[in-house]
């Protein structure tokens, strides 16, 4: 019976890595340029992917970048399909109830982008009666629900789909991370349709204290490894070297 179980266990691991040794770092399976997006060969590239590789190298871990659907990424972590989340996930109190976080590795403001000439301001009054798009299961969704109750909220599987609908004119505004919005505004569609309306009023409880590595509760060993890795790349200049390839200035934030 034992052999049967072993054979079954081996068969079930088809395609997955060797049991337990490499650390499966989950990223969102939806493109989120410039942090993580697939290239034409299907490989994931971007600032965040480079940081993952750098942190793992610094912490001497063998990491495997594993794309997981964003809306199921926390259950996947708790269920054991992945060991860590590095998918631009902000450290918030709500999330800290179910998972742990490492130290932050970047922090950028939250910005609203709107159709050109619409005169929308990132305030409850400015967005009253307008349709705003956010990605599901993000701090932006939570923020919009709490702070813009008079706006019509549309949730998308990915930030990109929200931007598509903004360009198509189906929604009036979109709230997302400033870097993601910069990437959209740099594209032809973004330049043609929209303008940045400004940053939202800060709410640390909802918007969180920066982006960290998501870990299972009680997984202190991995947490220390990731913290050590992040500290090392910040100190030895790898972080800045990688950021230079993508951004004009450091996004580590205050």
Q: Is position 5 an interface residue for other proteins (rule: CB under 8 A)?
A: yes
Binding mask 192-221 for other proteins (x = CB under 8 A): xx----------------------------
Q: Are strands 194-199 and 84-85 parallel, antiparallel or unpaired?
A: unpaired
Q: Give the distance, in angstroms, between the CA of residue 76 and the centroid of all CA atoms in the same chain.
A: 15
Q: Is position 191 an interface residue for other proteins (rule: CB under 8 A)?
A: no
Beta strands in 63-178 (DSSP E): 63-68, 84-85, 99-106, 110-115, 131-135, 152-156, 173-177
| Residues of this chain, 18-77, that bind other proteins according to CB under 8 A | 19-20, 24, 29-31, 33, 37-42, 67-72, 74-75
Q: Is position 248 an interface residue for other proteins (rule: CB under 8 A)?
A: no
In this chain, which of 121, 164, 178, 227 binds other proteins, going by CB under 8 A? 164
- How far apart are alpha carbons 85 and 151 in whole angstroms? 31
Question: What's the Cα-to-Cα distance from 158 to each of 31, 154, 162, 177, rounded to whole Å?
Answer: 8, 12, 7, 12
Residues that bind other proteins (CB under 8 A): 2, 5-6, 9, 11-17, 19-20, 24, 29-31, 33, 37-42, 67-72, 74-75, 79-81, 97-98, 136-137, 141, 154-158, 160-161, 164-165, 167-170, 187, 189, 192-193
């Amino acid at each position: 019976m034992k052999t049967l179980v072993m054979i079954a266990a081996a068969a079930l691991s088809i395609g997955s890595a060797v049991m337990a040794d490499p650390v499966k770092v989950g990223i969102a399976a939806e493109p989120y340029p410039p942090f993580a997006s697939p290239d034409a060969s299907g490989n994931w590239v971007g600032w965040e992917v480079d940081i993952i590789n750098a942190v793992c190298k610094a912490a001497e871990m063998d990491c495997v970048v594993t794309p997981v659907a964003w809306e199921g990424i926390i259950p996947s972590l708790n269920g054991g399909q992945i060991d860590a989340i590095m998918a631009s996930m902000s450290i918030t109190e709500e999330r800290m109830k179910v998972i742990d976080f490492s130290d932050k590795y970047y922090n950028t403001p939250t910005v609203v982008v709107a159709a050109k000439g619409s005169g929308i301001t990132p305030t409850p009054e400015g967005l009253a009666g307008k349709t705003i798009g956010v990605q599901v299961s993000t701090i932006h969704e939570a923020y919009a629900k709490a702070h813009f109750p008079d706006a019509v909220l549309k949730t998308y599987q990915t930030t990109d789909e929200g931007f598509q609908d903004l360009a198509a004119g189906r929604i009036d505004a979109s709230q997302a991370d400033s870097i993601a919005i910069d990437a959209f505004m740099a594209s032809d569609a973004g330049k043609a349709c929209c303008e940045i309306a400004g940053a939202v009023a800060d709410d640390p409880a909802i918007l969180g204290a920066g982006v960290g590595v998501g870990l299972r509760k009680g997984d202190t060993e991995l947490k220390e490894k990731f913290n050590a890795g992040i500290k090392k790349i910040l100190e030895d200049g790898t972080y800045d070297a990688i950021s230079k390839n993508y951004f004009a200035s450091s996004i580590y934030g205050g």
